[in-house]
Chains A and B, each alone.
Chain A
Amino acid sequence: MNNIVEMQHICKKFGEVTVLKDFNLNLREGEKVVIIGPSGSGKSTVLRCINCLEPIQGGKIIFEGQELTQKTDLSALRRKIGMVFQHFNLFPHKTVLENIIEAPVIVKKTLKAEAKKLAMVLLERVGLADKCDSYPKELSGGQKQRVAIARALAMNPQIMLFDEPTSALDPELVGEVLSVMKRLAEDGMTMILVTHEMAFAKEVADRVLFMDQGVIVEEGTPKDIFENPRHKRTQVFLQRILH
């Protein structure tokens, strides 16, 4: 299968601080990659570089065989890359339905009626069809994140990036979001997931990357990483997070 994303020798700095050092990642179509690691290790930055929310200082990113350059049409690129944020970032002045149809109507120029139909199908899939006329502030965190997932899916992306999607949720609400993501994984979506949900990572990941201080320390199947971590840093991190 083809690589959908290739990140080669990425260097990313915030001012003087280097966040990613000679970072490399290839992602095949349909693959599910989970990135774990301590906070500040650059996990989220990897996702944000892929859809150009962060400019990179070195290296190159290739998406569907095309190298991203200054001339890349960012709007066209980002349409193909769904992103789900830790803090949901739903549009508070729009209803759930309006949140979901916004991008299809404004960016893709889909007819409103058609976009609404698709939105309702997606809301059905995340189990929130009855909330279509609610405003985000009327939803629980878990519901907000499910709407955010539906909103990203409405653009029919080739790949989904999840940036700690359950980290801001109350523990009892994590499950409902994970189960939506699991269904998505089962449907064959290509995914990169930054998370601290190790059980979920074990279950859905094809590959797990452990990052620390801007580099991939260790990568392998969930079994490799979780049961036989080779590096000291991985072992220490897992011990801290699993106990």
Chain B
Amino acid sequence: MNLDYSVVLSKLPIFLDGCLVTLEISFFALLLGMIFGIGGALCRISSNRFLSGIAFLYVWIIRGTPIMVQLFILYFGLPQLGIKMSSMTAGILGLAINTGAYVTEIIRSGIQAIEKGQTEAALSLGMKPYQAMVRIVGPQAVKVCMPPLVNQFIMTLKNSSIASLVTITELLRTGEQLIYTTFRSFEVYTVVAVLYLIMNSVFMIVAGKLEKRMERQ
């Protein structure tokens, strides 16, 4: 065995730059993905057939195709139709669209898990449907959605590694570039894995604390 981490560890600042890019992609993808997801869920449960149909198609297509293919269509395919975007934009948008589809399903099932009687009680007190949603059903649905959402957020952070394939120098691609110069595949990939694990762990701990706090209410 010939393992030498010293070369790799001396490049730690470069890895950390990669981490920052990964966090940046993930953050914006999650933010946008949540917006797509909330919008998607509201459309999905809407009585408007057109809206719920669009949301259904969205979820169906995104869940039924590989994220890598989705990203390639955005970055390599669309330019053929005259739609060009930077790799960063394509990466974030692709991840966001993908995350949004899953979040749509999470939020839809969260809202539908809340008893109909809650909405009826709110309406019977004179609340408008949007008030019943925002004040009564929404806060309860958030609690139900938390665990699967945390799961989805972790998936998105890990899926951001796919952005390396559209030339974004995030953590994984940073590592691969270091392999070209150091020829230390094992060491580099394990350090990359540990860094992903650390980022996700921090996130899991924060989410766990948040869940506990909501549980107490």
Point out residues on A near B: beta carbons under 8 Å.
51, 53, 74-76, 78-79, 81-83, 85, 87, 89-93, 102-103, 106-108, 135, 148, 151-152, 155
Chain A residues with Cβ below 8 Å from B123 are: 53, 74, 78
Please give the number of chain B residues whose Cβ is less than 8 angstroms from any Cβ of chain A in the complex: 19
Residue of B nearest to A83 (CB): B124
Once bound together, how far apart are the Cα atoms of A81 and B125, in whole Å? 8
Pairs A–B under 8 Å by Cβ, sample size 8: A51-B124, A75-B127, A78-B126, A91-B118, A91-B122, A106-B127, A152-B124, A155-B125
Does A78 contact B217, Cβ atoms closer than 8 Å? Answer: no
Known: A91-B121, A152-B124. 20 other contacts (CB 8 A): A53-B124, A75-B126, A75-B128, A76-B126, A78-B124, A78-B126, A82-B124, A85-B117, A85-B120, A89-B117, A91-B136, A91-B140, A92-B140, A93-B140, A93-B217, A102-B135, A103-B126, A107-B125, A107-B126, A155-B126
Minimal Cβ-Cβ distance residue in B for A95:
B217
Q: In whole angstroms, what is the CA distance A51 to B143 when docked? A: 30
Interface readout for B110-137 with A: 1 if CB under 8 Å, 0 if not? 0000010110111111111001000110
B139 at the interface (CB under 8 A from A): yes
Known contacts being A92-B140, A106-B131, A107-B131, is A78 close to B118, with CB within 8 Å? no
Once the chains bind, are A53 and B140 in contact (CB under 8 Å)? Answer: no
B217 contacts which chain A residues (CB < 8 A)? 93, 135
Tell me the smallest distance from the CB of A185 to a CB of chain B, in Å.
Answer: 20
Given contacts A78-B126, A155-B126, contact A89 B121 (CB under 8 A): yes
5 tightest CB-CB pairs across the interface, nearest first? A103-B125, A89-B121, A79-B126, A89-B117, A83-B124
Interface residues in chain B, defined as those with a beta carbon under 8 Å from any beta carbon in chain A: 115, 117-118, 120-128, 131, 135-136, 139-140, 143, 217
- Measured between beta carbons, the chain B residues less than 8 angstroms from A78 are 123-126
Chain A residues, Cβ within 8 Å of B120: 53, 85, 89
In the docked arrangement, what's the CA distance between A85 and B136, Å?
16
Q: Cβ of B136: which chain A residues have Cβ within 8 Å of it?
A: 91, 102
Chain A residues, CB < 8 A from B127: 75, 103, 106-107
Contacts of B143 in A (CB 8 A): 93
- Taking CB atoms, residues of chain A closer than 8 Å to B124 are 51, 53, 78, 81-83, 152
What are the residues of chain B within 8 A of A76 when measuring CB–CB?
A: 126
Q: Which residues does chain A contribute within 8 Å of B139, judged by CB atoms?
A: 93
- Nearest chain B CB to A30 CB, angstrom units: 21
Complex alpha-carbon distance, A205 and B133, angstroms? 37
Q: Contact: B117 with A87, CB < 8 Å?
A: yes
Chain B residues closer than 8 Å to A74, beta-carbon distance: 123
Please give the distance in Å from B204's CB to the nearest CB on chain A. Answer: 24
- Nearest CB of chain B from residue A189's CB, rounded to whole Å: 16
Interfacial chain B residues near A106, Cβ < 8 Å = 127, 131, 135
